[in-house]
């Protein structure tokens, strides 16, 4: 399956934050939207980096309580893992494994179109395994075959 197909199924788009927002504002956004990753952007046309739950944890570990009021620009990841909508899912999985990240920014040319997460990968693999199991069961029982 292509990464672009996953984007079609889950819906494209990303949640963005400004680089001058505080970490505590972003953490509230994480909580309110049940997410763990945002794109840092000044405008819709560009991205400057990303911020994940792990980035926030690392900032707290390094700076202590003052991390909560730090600007996103001071703790964001500027080296964001990316893949293309035309990449096969195993390519995105390899990027996640190699970069030790749970989120990969999905690009279509120079445009950000979404984020594929480890949860998206697990959901796809689970759906695939269930379809295979059903196909095998149907084959064994002789149903849905002519």
Q: What pLDDT, on a 0 to 100 scale, did the predictor assign at position 136?
A: 85
Please report the domains of the chain, with CATH numbers, ordered by start residue.
3-141 (3.10.580.10)
Cα 124 to the chain's mean position, in Å? 14
Q: Which of 111, 108, 110, 101 is nearest to 87 (CA)?
A: 108
**Between 36 and 111, the higher pLDDT residue:** 36
- Most confident residue range from 46-50, 58-62, 141-145: 58-62
Q: Which long-range contacts (CB under 8 A, 24 or more apart) does 43-47 make?
A: 44/16, 47/16, 47/80, 47/105, 47/112
Q: What is the pTM of this model?
A: 0.83
- The tens digit of pLDDT for each residue in 71-124 reads 999 999 999 999 999 999 999 999 999 999 999 999 988 888 899 999 999 988
């Amino acid at each position: 399956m292509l990464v672009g197909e996953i984007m079609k199924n889950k819906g494209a788009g990303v949640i963005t934050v400004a680089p001058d927002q505080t970490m505590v504002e972003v953490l509230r956004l994480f909580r309110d939207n049940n997410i763990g990753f945002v794109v840092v952007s000044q405008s819709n046309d560009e991205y400057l980096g990303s911020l994940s739950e792990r980035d926030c944890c690392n900032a707290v570990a390094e700076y202590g309580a003052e991390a909560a009021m730090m600007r996103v620009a001071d703790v964001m990841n500027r080296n964001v893992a990316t893949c293309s909508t035309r990449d096969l899912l195993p390519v995105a999985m390899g990027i996640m494994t190699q970069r030790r990240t749970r989120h990969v920014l999905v690009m279509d040319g120079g445009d950000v179109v979404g984020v594929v997460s480890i949860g998206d990968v697990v959901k796809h693999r689970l759906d695939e395994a269930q379809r295979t199991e059903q196909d095998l069961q149907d084959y064994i029982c002789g149903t849905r075959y002519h």
